[in-house]
Amino acid sequence: MKYCIAERRLMVVKDDQFSITDQCSMLNIHRSGFYYKPQGESDLNLELAI
């Protein structure tokens, strides 16, 4: 079964017997992608879009 990247990110456990680097490698995701938290649009940007 194939998992999307969001599902694979959820499989990484911080206090597992494997390091985060190893888990990301096994799940074929970039470590930076594991830590990435998207930022929402700024209020100014939303106001300008209206």
Number of independent structural domains in the chain: 1
Nearest to 23 by CA among 5, 7, 9: 9
DSSP 8-state secondary structure symbol assigned to residue 36? -
pLDDT at 50 over 90: no
Convert the pLDDT of each residue in 5-29 to its tens digit.
989 999 999 887 999 999 999 999 9
What pTM value is reported for the model? 0.68
Q: Give the domain range for residue 24.
A: 5-49
Residue 38 pLDDT: 84
Residue 27 pLDDT: 94
**DSSP string spanning 12-48?**
--TTSSS-HHHHHHHTT--HHHHH--PPPPPHHHHHH
Question: Residue 8: how many CA atoms within 13 Å on its side-chain side?
Answer: 17
